[in-house]
Structure formats: C-alpha cells, structure tokens
Amino acid sequence: MYLKLYHDPQGGVLGAPENEGIEQVMDLLQEARRRGIEVEIVDARSLSQEDLAEAYNHAVLPSVWKRVGIRRVFGTRRSSATFFGTGVPALLAYERGRQYPSDVYPHREGNRIITIRDFLMRLLAAGESETAEMHR
C-alpha cells in the first residue's frame, strides 16, 4: 500500500467534521511508515492550481467506484475542490503498482464522515491483528 497526503503544513485546516482528529494524522502516518507502508506527504500550497486539480480528479475516481461523497467534503456545491488539500487535508490510498488511488479520505458514506484518522486507525489496527495472527 502507498499513502499520499495532501495538506497545508502551516496548519490552515478548517474546523470541520471532515478534519476531526487531524492533529493525530502525522503520528499515525509515522507509525504506518514504521510498519513498512510507503507514505508521501505533499505540501498542497506548493502545488499549482492545475496540479491540485489533477490530484482532486484522481481522488474522484475511487469516490465514484465506491459511491462515497467527496464533492462537499472538499468544497461546496458550486466549487467542488476549493478546500482539497488545504482547508481539508486529503489522503489517497493506492494499491501497489496502481496508477490511480483505490480510496480517498475523508469521504462521506451516507450521513457519516470517514476521516483520515478513522482510516489510519483502522488500517493500523488491522495490521496489528494480522501480526498477532502470524505469531500464533
């Protein structure tokens, strides 16, 4: 697995439900690295508008496949990517060898928001149970 986080290192995140637990994300990503997961962190503010739009377009693919909402997570009804990577950090999850992401966080499943922290905690917990299972 390969994880790519787009964020503003200056901390310009919105106080929104999508960002719940965001202060724990860097530590969780460090733990993921320690466990052998490749992690890339991108300063979204350093990207051109075109590059940021391309990253958002990559995030749209898994949202369509999995039928999860991201338009209003990263923007508004009229401007879908306004906060992508800046006001709302974005985590794209890739399977090894794949060009496009298999998932994007945060996203909305029905009325529930799945945050980046939710995903990373679930990922790391699954890894712990797999490790425990291997040592039995």
What tens digit of pLDDT does each residue of 59-76 get? 999 999 999 999 989 988
Given this model, what pLDDT does residue 128 score? 59
Q: Which residues of the chain have pLDDT under 50?
A: 129-136
Q: How far apart, in Å, do the first and last CA atoms of the chain sit?
A: 24
Long-range contacts of 103-111 (CB under 8 A, 24+ apart): 103/62, 103/66, 104/59, 104/62, 104/63, 104/68, 104/70, 106/18, 106/19, 106/70, 106/73, 107/63, 107/66, 107/68, 107/69, 107/70, 107/73, 108/68, 108/69, 108/70, 108/72, 108/73, 109/68, 109/69
Under DSSP, is residue 5 helix (H, G, I), strand (E, B) or coil?
Answer: strand
Cα–Cα distance, 28 to 35 (Å, whole number): 11
Given this model, what pLDDT does residue 59 score? 95
Given this model, what pLDDT does residue 136 score? 31
- The domain of 57 spans 2-134
Given this model, what pLDDT does residue 135 score? 28
Cα–Cα distance, 90 to 4 (Å, whole number): 8
Q: How many domains does the chain have?
A: 1
Given this model, what pLDDT does residue 45 score? 92
Token digits of residue 69:
């909402």
